[in-house]
Amino acid sequence: MTDRLTIALAQINPTVGDVPGNAERVRAARAQAAGADLVLYPELVLSGYPPEDLVLKPAFLDRVKQAALALAADTADGGPALLVGAPWRLEGRRHNAMLLLAEGAIQAVILKHHLPNYGVFDEVRVFEPGPLPRPLTFMGVKLGLPICEDMWYADVAQALKAAGAEILLVPNGSPFELDKTHARLSRAAARVAETGLPLAYLNQICGQDELVFDGGSFVLDAGGGVARRLPVWREEVALTRWERRADGGWAPVPGPLAPGRERLEDIYQAMVLGLRDYVGKNRFKGVLLGLSGGIDSALSAAVAVDALGPDKVWCVMMPSPYTSAASLEDAAGVARLCGTRLDSVDIGPAMRAFGAMFAPLFGAAGADTTEENVQARSRGLTLMGLSNKFGYMVLTTGNKSEMSVGYATLYGDMCGGYSVLKDIYKTTVFALSRWRNAHRPEGALGPAGPVMPERVITKPPSAELKPDQTDQDTLPPYEQLDAVLECLIEREMAPDEVIAAGYDPAVACRVFRMLDRAEYKRRQAPPGVKITSRAFGRDRRYPIVNGFTDTF
C-alpha cells in the first residue's frame, strides 16, 4: 500500500480507425509522463471516439487487441502503467472498455455500464452494457472507473464506493457543445458529494466528422473543489499528485488552473479545430471556397486560415452581372487581410450558355428563382471543377439560419465537403466576425489584426442573384428569424407556444413551415461542426415525408 500516487492525465488527439497511430500517441504520452505511476487515457483511445460501425468489423477489433497487447508488453520496462480505452470482446460480446496495462500484461478490464443512446450517441447499437463495475486495485489503491456516461448517473459511483473505491477516474469522449462545461462539472461534483471521493475527469481533444472534443479535463477534491484544470482546445499531458490523508482518504495536490474562456472564443475554436482535423486527418491539400464579399464566406475564410494557414486556403470570386463593385472590393479586402490566394472566374458565360440551352424548353416562361439557382449552380460547378483538378476540398459557407429555412441552393452554394457555419445562426455569424476582427485566438495560424473589412459586417446581407436583392426580401429580419428558430429547433416548441412567448404569429407559422419543408435539403448537406445542443444531422432527425406540418 502506498500513501502517494502520481496519475498523468493524457488529454490527447486520437484519430478514429487509426489504431497503429493511436497506439503511438499512447506511447508518446507515456514518454511525456515521466515520474507518473499511472497514465489515464480517454475513452476508446485505441479505436478513436466515436468508432461507430467500425467495431462491427472483427478485423478491426483484432487490430485493437493486438495494439493493446503490444502496449501491455511495453509496461514491462518498469515505467508507468496505463489505463487505456478500447472496444473489447468478451464472450462474443462487444464492450466499451478500459484496460489496465501493467507489468507487461493486461491486468484488468472494466466495462462501461451506461451506454448513451440520444443526440449524437448510439452506443446501444454497437456495444453491450457491462455490469455495475467494481474497483480495480493498483499499488494497493482501489480505483473506480466510471466511463463517460457512467458518471452522469449516481448508481455507478455509489456501487464503486460501496465496493471500496478510494478515487474515481473518469475517462471521457465528451463532445463540445455550448454550455456543456458547466454540465460536466456539476455532474462530477454531484458524484463527489454523493460518495465523498475525489475525482479526476479526463476528456479527449480532437475533431471527428461533425463532432469536436474540447478537452478541459479537471480534478475535484473530496469537497468538490477544483484542484486542477487543464486547458481547452489543446493537447496536454499533466501529472496530478495524490496523497493519503490522515483519515485514510485521498486528496489531490492542488495544481495549475487553466483560465476560463468566453463564449464566442469557444465557438470559434470549435470551428477551427473541427476544420483542421477534418482536413488534416483526411489528408486534403487545403480548402477552396467561393468568396462573395459577404459575411458568411468572409468568416469561413478566416476560420480556414486560422485552422490551416493562408497557404492552404484558396479563395475564388465568381462574379455575375448582378455582383456589385462593393462586393468585388470586399472580397479582395478579405483575401488581402487573411493573406490568401484570390482568383476570379466570371460566371456570365455559363449563365448565357445555360440560358441558350434551356430556351427551347422554357419558351415564354418568365424569369424566376430558376435563373437564380442556375447562377448558384454555375458557381458550385466552378468550385467542384477546381477541386477535382487540384485536390482542394470545397468549403461551403452557408449558416444555420439559411439551412433551417431552405435559403440555399442544392448543388449550388450547398456544394462542398465541409461547413464550419452549419450550426451557426446568422446573428452569431455577425458576433463572431466582430470578435475575430478584434481578437486572434490562441493557436491561430491567421493574422493578428482584422480578417475582413468593416463594411462586410455592416452592409445588408445579399445573395446578389438579381438586381438590388437583399436577404430580407425573402426572409424575416435575422434577429426575428433566429429567435424563432431557436424556439423551434433548440427548444422543440410548437408554433402556438412560440406565439404565446410573444413572437409574431405570421412569422412563427411561416418559419415553422419553411423549417420542415427544407428537411430534404439538409439531408444532402455536407457535414459541419456541431456547436449547439440540436445541430442538424445526428442531433435532429426528422422525416422528409411528414404530414405533421399540415397541422399548423
**Predicted confidence (pLDDT) at residue 473 exceeds the cutoff of 80:** no
Q: What is the mean pLDDT of residues 291-311?
A: 97
Handedness of CA 372, 374, 379, 383 (dihedral sign): positive
Residue 509 lies in a domain: no
Q: pTM of the prediction?
A: 0.94
Is residue 170 helix, strand or coil?
A: strand
Beta carbons within 8 Å of 494's beta carbon, 6+ residues apart: 552
Arithmetic mean of pLDDT, 371-393: 94
Q: Which residues have CB under 8 Å from 320's CB, separation 6+?
A: 346, 347, 348, 351, 375, 464, 465
Q: Is the pLDDT of residue 293 over 80?
A: yes
Per-residue pLDDT band at 10 (split at 50, 70, 90): very high
pLDDT tens digit sequence for 213-248: 999 999 999 999 999 999 999 999 999 999 999 898
Whether residue 76 is predicted with pLDDT greater than 80 in this model: the reply is: yes
Q: Is the pLDDT of residue 100 over 60?
A: yes
Q: What CA–CA distance (Å, rounded) separates 468 from 448?
A: 35
Instruction: Examine the domain organization and report whether 383 and 300 are in the same domain.
Output: yes
Distance (Å, whole) CA 509 – CA 515 = 10
Residue 548 in any domain: the answer is no
Q: How many domains does the chain have?
A: 2
| Domain end position, chosen among 407, 439, 471 | 471
List residues with catalytic annotation.
43, 112, 148
Q: Are residues 218 and 301 in the same domain?
A: no
Residue 466: pLDDT above 70? no
Predicted confidence (pLDDT) at residue 551 exceeds the cutoff of 60? no
Is pLDDT at 549 greater than 70 in this prediction? no
Per-residue cell: 238 = 499533466
- Which CATH number covers residue 134? 3.60.110.10
Looking up residue 341, the CATH number of its domain turns out to be: 3.40.50.620
Q: Please identify, among 426, 455, 471, the residue that sits at the C-terminal boundary of a domain.
A: 471
The rounded percent of the chain whose pLDDT value lies above 90 is: 82
Q: Are 101 and 68 in contact (CB under 8 A)?
A: yes
pLDDT for the residue numbered 366: 87
Mode of pairing for the β-strands spanning 236-244 and 250-252: antiparallel
286 shares a domain with 245: no
Q: Say if 514 falls within a structural domain.
A: no
Half-sphere exposure of 458 (CA within 13 A, CB side): 4
**Structural domain contains residue 549:** no
CA-CA-CA-CA torsion sign (481, 484, 486, 489) = negative
Q: Is residue 484 part of a domain?
A: no
Contact 111, 130 (CB under 8 A): yes
Do residues 334 and 449 both lie within one domain?
yes
**Residues 247 and 371 both lie in one domain:** no
Could you read off the pLDDT of 27-59 as tens digits, one per residue? 999 999 999 999 999 999 999 999 999 999 999
Determine contact, residues 253/241, Cβ cutoff 8 Å: yes
- Same domain for 124 and 198: yes
Look at residue 325 and tell me whether its pLDDT is greater than 80: yes
**205-208/211-214 β-pairing:** antiparallel
Q: Are residues 344 and 295 in the same domain?
A: yes
Condensed to tens digits (0 to 9), the pLDDT of residues 101-155 reads 999 999 999 999 999 998 888 899 999 999 999 999 999 999 999 999 999 999 9
Host domain of residue 55: 4-256
Q: Strand 93-102's sheet: what is its strand order?
A: 105-111, 93-102, 81-90, 38-40, 4-11, 236-244, 250-252
Confidence of residue 362 (pLDDT cuts 50, 70, 90): very high
Specify whether 287 is located in the same domain as 243. no
Same domain? 229 vs 278:
no
The reply to whether 66 and 168 lie within a common domain is yes
Taking residues 255-261, what's their average pLDDT? 92
Question: Which of 448, 471, 494 is the last residue before a domain boundary?
Answer: 471
HSE of 501, CA atoms in CB hemisphere, 13 A: 16
Sorting pLDDT into bands at 50, 70 and 90, what band is 469? low
- Structural domain contains residue 215: yes
pLDDT tens profile 191-209: 999 999 999 999 999 999 9
In the predicted model, is pLDDT for residue 547 greater than 90?
A: no
Average pLDDT over residues 168-193: 95
More confident residue, 384 or 546: 384
pLDDT digits (tens, 9 = 90+) for 416-449: 999 999 999 999 999 999 999 999 999 999 999 9
Residue 540 domain flag: no
**What's the chain's average pLDDT?**
93
pLDDT of amino acid 463:
61
If asked whether residues 218 and 317 sit together in one domain, one would say: no
Q: Is 425 inside a domain boundary?
A: yes
Residues 359 and 377 in one domain: yes
